[in-house]
Amino acid sequence: MLQKNLTPDHANSKRKLIQGMAGAALLGATGFGTAQTAPWPSRPIRLIVGFAPGTAPDVFARLYGDYLSKRLAVPVVIDNKPGAGGNLATDIVAKAPADGYTFLYALSTYFTVNPFIYSKLPYDPFKDLVPVATTIRQGLVLVANPVKVPSRNLKELMLVVKAKPGALSYGSYGAGSPSHLIMEWLKDETQSHILHIPYRTNPVLGPVSGEVEMLMEPIATAIPFIASGRLKALAYSGATRHPALPDVPTLSESVPGMNVTSWHGLWAATGTPAALVSRLNADMISISRDPEVQQRINTFNVEPLGVTPSEMTAMVKRDSDIFSRVVKVRNIRVD
């Protein structure tokens, strides 16, 4: 009778408790197995990626997956589940067994933006999942059409924007994307008006063609357009200037305190044994510190990032505080 009266939340909590107890039994005295159970890992590990094959998150997931497979001596399978801004992939992992064989490879925005722009999620990102490890971090570059925007930096751009409110426009990867929220944050901080044009496809050709004047673009994909002269860089979103763009000021040089980056990481279902999470975190940090991995990642002009789960939690909180305020102030929703 008690079982029948359980609410979905109670049933989910009970399931997680049972999984946690099973995981503890799995780790046993050695931390990774007992005489009755196979040591972890003893079968393939799945990385659920909320993007299609060939996209940047998929590329980095496969890079880290290859090295992790070598360290753990089991296959690491990339399982692409694009859709709903990452919510589909996140929901799969949130409801997966907490046994250390299913992990979410996610953008930080799954946890720092999605909870605030979607009215309802099928999971609780802060209760149903736990942080495991980070992989890479990158800032975004405010790029502009070199003919339509004569400004050389953000300060000069703001003079034009203030003189002609609404005359300039910017593209984005859609409502709630970093390219959208950072620009809305900038508009709020500077009390300026720049028209937002969301794109259903890659928006980078917007400023190239002059359809829009500017775009906040991830540095990995912005660099080739800057190098070719098809776009020019006005500002960088990181806390310090990027080595590949030493002459490009940061946003915070014009708007103090304004800096944010996009980062990738692994999450697991709540109840995954702490010893297993700690082991995988150590492995991922070692991979990020590997000179060969660093060389491969640096070719994309992004930064290898290895931090502890507690540091991941602090990063989520910091970015959530920023984006939740922007979402509220600018009244941004996607459903």
Instruction: Give yes or no: residues 12 and 131 share one domain.
Output: yes
> Residue 99: its pLDDT value, please?
96
Mean pLDDT in each 10-residue stretch from start to end of the chain (335 residues)?
45 49 43 62 97 94 98 98 95 98 97 95 96 97 97 96 95 94 97 95 95 97 96 97 97 96 97 97 98 95 96 97 96 88
Q: Which amino acid is at 232?
A: K
> Residue 201: its pLDDT value, please?
86
Instruction: Give yes or no: residues 268 and 134 share one domain.
Output: yes
Longest dimension (CA), the chain: 74
Instruction: Give yes or no: residues 268 and 309 share one domain.
Output: yes
170 occurs within a structural domain: yes
1 occurs within a structural domain: no
Instruction: Name the residue among 275, 263, 276, 264 with its Cα closest to residue 102.
Output: 276
DSSP category for residue 34 = -
Looking at 237, 254, 271, the residue that finishes a domain is 254
Instruction: Name the residue among 172, 171, 134, 125 with its Cα closest to residue 57.
Output: 134
101 occurs within a structural domain: yes
> Residue 184: its pLDDT value, please?
97
Residue that has been written with the tokens 């984005």 in this structure: 172
- Structural domain including 168 reads 140-254
Q: Following CA atoms 204, 208, 211, 217 in sequence, which dihedral angle do they give, to the nearest 10 degrees? A: 30
Looking at 227, 254, 281, the residue that finishes a domain is 254
pTM as predicted: 0.85
Instruction: Give yes or no: residues 73 and 171 share one domain.
Output: no
Instruction: Give yes or no: residues 187 and 70 share one domain.
Output: no
Instruction: Give yes or no: residues 132 and 267 share one domain.
Output: yes
Whole-number Å distance between alpha carbons of 202 and 215: 11
Number of domains in the chain: 2
Q: Give whole-number Cα distances, 187 to 53, 122, 163, 248, 292, in Å.
A: 34, 32, 14, 20, 40
Q: Judge residue 291's burial from the number of C-beta atoms within 10 Å of its C-beta, 0-12 exposed, 13-18 middle, 19 or more buried.
A: exposed
> Residue 215: its pLDDT value, please?
98
Instruction: Give yes or no: residues 217 and 166 share one domain.
Output: yes
Say whether 121 sits in a helix, a strand or coil: coil
Instruction: Give yes or no: residues 232 and 175 share one domain.
Output: yes
Instruction: Name the residue among 213, 157, 217, 226 with its Cα closest to residue 187.
Output: 157
> Residue 2: its pLDDT value, please?
35
Q: Whole-angstrom distance between the N-terminal and C-terminal Cα of the chain? A: 38
- Strand duo 129-138 + 262-269: pairing: antiparallel
Instruction: Give yes or no: residues 172 and 234 share one domain.
Output: yes
Residue that has been written with the tokens 């969301």 in this structure: 198
Residue that has been written with the tokens 């003919």 in this structure: 147
Looking at 222, 254, 286, the residue that finishes a domain is 254
pLDDT digits 0-9 by tens, 94-123:
999 999 999 999 999 999 999 999 999 999
Instruction: Give yes or no: residues 247 and 311 share one domain.
Output: no
CATH number at residue 227: 3.40.190.10
CATH number at residue 95: 3.40.190.150
- Strand duo 129-138 + 169-172: pairing: unpaired
- Strand duo 214-218 + 262-269: pairing: unpaired
Instruction: Give yes or no: residues 78 and 52 share one domain.
Output: yes
Instruction: Give yes or no: residues 145 and 247 share one domain.
Output: yes
174 occurs within a structural domain: yes
DSSP category for residue 250 = B
> Residue 24: its pLDDT value, please?
45
